[in-house]
């Protein structure tokens, strides 16, 4: 009996404490001071800054379209546009929208009591915060007299900046498609120098380097340029399936580096082989180095694939392709790496 009375008393005590906590939390007051700037000059200034930001954004579009995408001017125009928007927002925050100072007592969660009381008190606090936020939104434009002008200026700035953000998408251009993989090299295509004259085997001395192209091909095509070198035939260490690819020690490789597509334009041909590394093609960009003796394998640098080699033969004294390149030309990305 005594135990039951104690349980009833504890139950009543919990409700008394919960009620007290709820009452205290509802009685919390928020001290609020409000000031309406009502400055038409500040509103006009904000609108002017936003319109200027719109013009700077549109200037970006015009520079992109008509000034060959001058990158300095593009950067300047977008920076000016963003700076003007920032200035407009700072001015609006300081001189246009209502200024409020709120002092809210921090909720006291340290009160011991029943769990349900804590929850109720917290719910009441949340409800107050929601109502305060709704009030802030409703009163956010109090004192602003030129709402139409500011709205139009904000929309103009949004359009200007939006256009500046979208226009560069045009630079993505058409898909590359199979152009990277296209190659003019096949059996019988003659090698020519830049002036179109056929490359004669006798013009190449041991240790020399020459840039050659596919006869009749577009020189802009990635695969057309070759680095042609000559070594002593007894130095060659080509794989068995390439044994006849280098007549009289003349070798041809794609001139496009397999790292990042710089032109491989240096040929190292040591004259004192005992103390020097062997003959190699070197890319001047990041010094990827390719051993010409074993078919263009990479021996140094960031490239991960060998230089594609072109099989050669000599017909009537001039160099001619004896087949296609041994691999995909160009940097080792995407399909090039898989197929290389």
Per rule CB under 6 A, is residue 32 in the interface with ligand FES?
no
Q: Terminal CA-to-CA distance of the chain, rounded, Å?
A: 91
Nearer to ligand FES, 214 or 257 (CB): 257
Per rule CB under 6 A, is residue 289 in the interface with ligand FES?
no
Per rule CB under 6 A, is residue 59 in the interface with ligand FES?
no
Per rule CB under 6 A, is residue 262 in the interface with ligand FES?
yes
Nearer to ligand FES, 32 or 286 (CB): 286
Per rule CB under 6 A, is residue 282 in the interface with ligand FES?
no
Cβ-count burial 267-298 (b if 16+ within 10 Å, e if not):
bbbeeeeeeeebbbbbbebeebbbbbbbbbbb
By the 8 A CB rule, do 248 and 233 touch? yes
Instruction: Give me the least distance between CB of 54 and ligand FES, in Å please.
Output: 43
Nearer to ligand FES, 167 or 303 (CB): 303
Positions 142 through 171 that interact with ligand FES (CB under 6 A): none
Positions 222 through 261 that interact with ligand FES (CB under 6 A): 257, 259-260
Q: Which of 77, 224, 288, 309 is the binder for ligand FES (CB under 6 A)?
A: 288
Instruction: Give me the least distance between CB of 284 and ligand FES, in Å please.
Output: 8
Per rule CB under 6 A, is residue 340 in the interface with ligand FES?
no
Q: Which of 207, 301, 323, 327 is the binder for ligand FES (CB under 6 A)?
A: 301
Per rule CB under 6 A, is residue 73 in the interface with ligand FES?
no
CA 41 to chain centre: 42
CA distances from 293 to 30, 231, 278, 323 (A): 85, 8, 8, 19
Work out the angle between the directed axes of helices 71-95 and 40-66 (0-180°, nearest 10).
Answer: 170
User: What is the total count of residues that contact ligand FES (CB under 6 A)?
Assistant: 11
* Cα-based torsion angle of the residue sequence 329, 331, 334, 336 in order, rounded to the nearest 10 degrees: 20
Q: Which residues pair with 329 in a beta bridge?
A: none
By the 8 A CB rule, do 168 and 295 touch? no
Instruction: Give me the least distance between CB of 254 and ligand FES, in Å please.
Output: 12
Per rule CB under 6 A, is residue 336 in the interface with ligand FES?
no
CA distance 187 to 245: 12
Strands 266-268 and 280-282, bridge-based pairing? antiparallel
Chain contacts with ligand FES (rule: CB under 6 A): 257, 259-260, 262, 283, 285-286, 288, 301-303
């Amino acid at each position: 009996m005594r135990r039951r009375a104690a349980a009833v008393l504890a139950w009543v005590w919990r409700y008394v404490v919960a009620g007290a906590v709820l009452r205290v939390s509802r009685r919390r007051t928020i001290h609020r001071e409000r000031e309406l700037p009502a400055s038409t000059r500040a509103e006009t200034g904000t609108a002017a800054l936003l319109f200027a930001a719109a013009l700077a954004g549109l200037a970006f579009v015009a520079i992109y379209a008509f000034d060959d995408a001058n990158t300095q001017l593009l950067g300047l125009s977008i920076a000016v546009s963003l700076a003007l928007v920032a200035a407009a927002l700072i001015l609006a925050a300081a001189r246009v929208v209502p200024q409020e100072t709120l002092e809210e007592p921090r909720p006291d969660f340290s009160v011991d009591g029943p769990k349900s009381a804590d929850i109720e008190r917290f719910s009441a606090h949340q409800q107050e915060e929601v109502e305060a936020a709704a009030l802030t939104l409703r009163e956010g434009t109090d004192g602003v007299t030129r709402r139409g002008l500011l709205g139009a200026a904000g929309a103009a700035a949004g359009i200007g900046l939006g256009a500046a953000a979208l226009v560069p998408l045009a630079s993505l251009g058409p898909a590359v498609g199979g152009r990277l993989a296209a190659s003019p090299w096949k059996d019988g295509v003659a090698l020519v120098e830049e002036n179109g004259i056929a490359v004669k085997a006798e013009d190449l001395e041991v240790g020399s380097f020459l840039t050659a192209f596919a006869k009749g091909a577009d020189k802009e095509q990635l695969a057309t340029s070759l680095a042609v070198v000559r070594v002593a035939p007894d130095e060659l260490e080509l794989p068995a399936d390439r044994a006849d690819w280098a007549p009289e020690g003349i070798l041809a490789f794609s001139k496009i580096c397999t790292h990042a597509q710089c032109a491989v334009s240096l040929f190292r041909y040591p004259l004192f082989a005992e103390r020097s590394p062997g003959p190699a093609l070197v890319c001047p960009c990041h010094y990827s180095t390719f051993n010409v003796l074993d078919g263009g394998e990479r021996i140094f640098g960031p490239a991960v694939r060998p230089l594609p080699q072109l099989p050669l033969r000599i017909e009537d004294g001039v160099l001619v392709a004896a087949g296609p390149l041994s691999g995909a030309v160009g940097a080792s990305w995407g399909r090039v790496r898989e197929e290389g």
